[in-house]
Amino acid sequence: AQSVTQPDIHITVSEGASLELRCNYSYGATPYLFWYVQSPGQGLQLLLKYFSGDTLVQGIKGFEAEFKRSQSSFNLRKPSVHWSDAAEYFCAVSTGFQKLVFGTGTRLLVSP
Amino acid sequence: DAGVIQSPRHEVTEMGQEVTLRCKPISGHDYLFWYRQTMMRGLELLIYFNNNVPIDDSGMPEDRFSAKMPNASFSTLKIQPSEPRDSAVYFCASSLNSDNQPQHFGDGTRLSIL
């Protein structure tokens, strides 16, 4: 069965430091992969998506993610974190027929 | 552009009462999804529709839950009778008809059953 693992429940990063959030997926075919962000009291907002082609994808708010088929990973990165990036981040894989399987999320805390 | 619109944003009611959550998807989107988010279980897909037809309701927890989509611009999720364990944030999302199209989420309805 398809699954997504986000091994870090929460991460604390200093403002201005770099960030990497981990995501591993299990899916037999070529995956469609997504990263969403959820701010408190709000719905999920799409950060970026990978379908095919260049394995390094750029998203909104300065985020990027790299697809590594050999490692079944799709890690999210940002070179310099801002306090406004504090939120919960979800990785998801599309399993066909528009269904998404979400990871359990990683809560990002940004320290001054 | 208007996003996915959910109402109400908050609902507090006593157990046993009927609860109706509403969703207006983005115009032109063929798919509509209902999710439930809790601390214990994370984000769960309850049911989704394609062109107003329910495709997969395997995530609906029990018969107390029902969902309808009478037309392309409106859907409801109903809980009758409600129980305290139904307390959660319920999200509606919509997307275009393709596996590589992202889902767009509403801001959710925070439901508290006392």
In chain B, % of residues over pLDDT 70: 98
The residue whose two tokens read 């392309």 is: B72
- pLDDT beneath 70: ranges in chain A: 97
Chain segment A64-96, per-residue pLDDT in tens? 999 999 999 999 999 999 999 999 999 999 877
Q: What is the pLDDT of residue A29?
A: 76
Chain segment B45-99, per-residue pLDDT in tens? 999 999 999 999 999 988 999 999 999 999 999 999 999 999 999 999 999 987 6
Q: What is the pLDDT of residue A5?
A: 95
- CA dist B41 → A13, A84, B35, B88 (Å): 26, 26, 11, 10
Q: What is the pLDDT of residue B101?
A: 82
Are the CB atoms for A35 and A90 separated by under 8 Å? yes
Q: Which residues have CB under 8 Å from A86's CB, separation 6+?
A: A108, A109, A110
Compute the nearest-CA separation of B64 from chain A (Å): 23
- DSSP three-state, residue A84: helix
Is the model's pLDDT at B1 over the cut of 70? no
Q: Which residue has the higher pLDDT, A48 or B1?
A: A48
Q: Residues of A near B (CB-CB distance < 8 A)?
A: 32, 34, 36, 41-46, 49, 51, 90, 94, 96-100, 102, 104-105
Residue of A112, A110, A104 whose CA lies nearest to A5:
A104
